[in-house]
């Protein structure tokens, strides 16, 4: 496989002591139960630092390492000094790492957001200018993302938001002055699945009740009438007062 296309994963380092483990013991762990897709094919791990790391590191991906092998272990095996942890007997993937390297340039998050894992590729790690460039999603979403960037429409990808305690991952979240837009790209295969329309209706209603304006485009629309999709997106943005200025403190959820 071309090294540029090798699968990679960005994972959060939630606590400073875990960064010490990663550096000194050269392994990273992910719960088996909540592991992202294709986790067993990952060739590289990169690390996202939250606010606890301070101004120098926070909200950025700066370092990465090759994965030498992947094993499964109980949490108590990984952290024998925490015998009373509630997940002590849970299974975790343990990624054994090679040398930790610095990326050619840091990959920042434009806004504060919750990040856990981002499936990506080695090429995207090497070339991404900001967090949203890292996501390795469907061809439809990739096509839409590139089109939004060409129109200078700032969008957050795979954003997790909550409505009545239900978590929803948005394909694209566009933040406007008066309200926000959930932009969804629906493949034809998805809408041939049973109950898809019912699930979409419930989801749309929930998000609308929490102030989101939902725009959904089918694959045929994106592939054949992309300009029309973009025109509708831009009209909705204008109706909602224009794009909101990026600021780490203005992203809810």
Report long-range pairs for 158-161 (Cβ below 8 Å, ≥24 apart): 158/118, 159/113, 159/253, 160/114, 160/253, 161/207, 161/210, 161/212, 161/252, 161/253
pLDDT of residue 191: 54
Summary mean pLDDT of the chain? 91
* pLDDT (tens digit per residue) in 135-167: 999 999 999 999 999 999 999 999 999 988 888
**DSSP characters for 104-123?**
EEEEE-SS----SEEEEEHH
Distance between CA atoms of 208 and 189, rounded to whole angstroms? Answer: 25
pLDDT range class, residue 192, cuts 50, 70, 90? low
Domains (ranges, CATH) in the chain? 3-133 (2.30.130.30), 139-239 (3.40.960.10)
Share of the chain above pLDDT 90, in %: 81
The pLDDT of residue 190 is above 80: no
pLDDT at 126: 97
Q: Taking residues 248-253, what's their average pLDDT? A: 39
DSSP state of 220: H
Tens digit of pLDDT for each residue in 56-94? 999 999 999 999 999 999 999 999 999 999 999 999 999
Judged against a pLDDT cut of 50, whether residue 11 lies above it is answered with yes
């Amino acid at each position: 496989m071309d090294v540029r296309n090798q699968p990679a994963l960005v994972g959060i380092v939630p606590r400073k002591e875990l960064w010490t483990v990663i550096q000194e013991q050269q392994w990273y762990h992910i719960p088996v139960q909540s592991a992202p897709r294709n986790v067993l094919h990952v060739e590289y791990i990169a690390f996202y630092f939250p606010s606890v790391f301070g101004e120098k590191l926070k909200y950025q991906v700066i370092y990465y390492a090759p994965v030498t092998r992947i094993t499964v272990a109980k949490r108590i095996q990984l952290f024998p000094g925490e015998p009373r942890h509630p997940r002590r007997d849970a299974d975790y993937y343990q990624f054994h790492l090679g040398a930790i390297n610095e990326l050619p340039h840091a990959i920042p998050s434009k806004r504060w957001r919750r990040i856990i894992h981002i499936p990506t590729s080695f090429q995207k790690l090497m070339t991404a200018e900001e967090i949203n460039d890292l996501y390795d999603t469907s061809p439809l979403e990739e096509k839409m993302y590139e089109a939004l960037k060409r129109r200078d429409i700032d969008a957050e990808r795979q954003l997790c938001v909550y409505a009545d305690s239900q978590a929803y991952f948005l394909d694209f979240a566009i933040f406007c002055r008066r309200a926000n837009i959930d932009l969804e790209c629906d493949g034809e295969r998805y809408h041939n699945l049973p109950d898809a329309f019912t699930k979409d209706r419930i989801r749309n209603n929930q998000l609308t009740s929490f102030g989101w304006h939902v725009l959904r485009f089918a694959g045929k629309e994106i592939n054949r009438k992309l300009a029309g999709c973009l025109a509708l997106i831009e009209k909705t943005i204008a109706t909602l007062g224009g794009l909101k200025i990026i600021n780490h403190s203005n992203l809810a959820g």
